[in-house]
Amino acid sequence: MHFQTFIDYLLLEKNYSKLTIRAYQSDLEAFQNFVKNKYDSTSIKKVNYPQIRTWIVSLVESGVSNRSINRKISSLNSYYKFLLKVEDINQNPLSKHKALKTSKKVQVPFSEEEIKTVLDELNFDDSFKGIRDKLIIELFYSTGIRRIELVELKLASMDIHNKTIKVHGKRNKERIVPLLNSVKETLQDYILVRNGLPEIKDSDHLFLTKKGVKIYETLVYRVINDYFSQASSKVKRSPHILRHSFATHLLNQGADINAVKELLGHTSLAATQVYTHNSIAELKKVHLKAHPRSLK
């Protein structure tokens, strides 16, 4: 069975990113394979909830996390809702399903000292790679953009004169993010070495490999992990932790949460509020230290 009509709907009507759509497609194909092997059926339109439940049990037994299972079921649920909408089925078999319980992920941001160590004390040489890698880290920490947003940045999105960048976020939502002076300087240095590459195969995108093609997500992850492993003992050292650090440090310094929400490209305030637990811890320290009734 093909899911092309549903995929087109996600792409054209829902404006989902290609990465999100790939995840949906992968989840649907995995369930289709399960149904084919277990029930000798080529269609997932006619399955019932007990059959889906059997798939959930098999995923649990395979060691798949509850969080990942919930995501897979969410993909399946979206597909059934679409089939209902186009009147291809009469009932959603997942209408009464309850998500599996998950433990809250604690995202520990890098400290300001760890970021200072990376940007001010580690060696970024004057090579193409050194300048590019420094710009990647500076952009993540100073703008809070997502990894896929950084990968997809275009040269034309850079407004060096006004010190802003245009970011295409989730569902193709566009936002303008300001640049710090220090990042502007690194950006100018990078554009010079980028233009000096022997061959440029992708002239549109800002970040390229040494071969002149657009960078990819695993390379970006590797850059962050490699540099921060020299300055931090934290288990997780990823672009998302830098985004997390950006939001947390801004809130710690008293930034308005609505402003941080806009900078991050969140559609709801609830998504931004997950970053406030560290800020509350910081506020407690300030409160304890400064309040006249506190025991010093």
Catalytic residues: 146, 170, 240, 243, 266, 275
* CA–CA dist 151, 168 (Å, integer): 11
In three-state secondary structure terms, 168 is: strand
Query: Hey, how many other C-beta atoms are within 10 angstroms of the C-beta on 110?
Result: 25
Residue type, 94: L
> Is the Cα torsion angle 257, 263, 264, 266 positive or negative in sign?
positive
Computed over its alpha carbons, how large is the radius of gyration of the chain?
Answer: 23
Q: Do 79 and 6 meet the contact criterion of CB atoms below 8 Å apart? A: yes
Kindly tell me the burial class for residue 76, based on how many C-beta atoms sit within 10 Å of its own C-beta (0-12, 13-18, 19 or more): buried
In three-state secondary structure terms, 93 is: coil
β pairing state of 174-178 and 158-159: unpaired
**CA geometry: angle at 213 spanning 10 and 198, to 5°?**
165
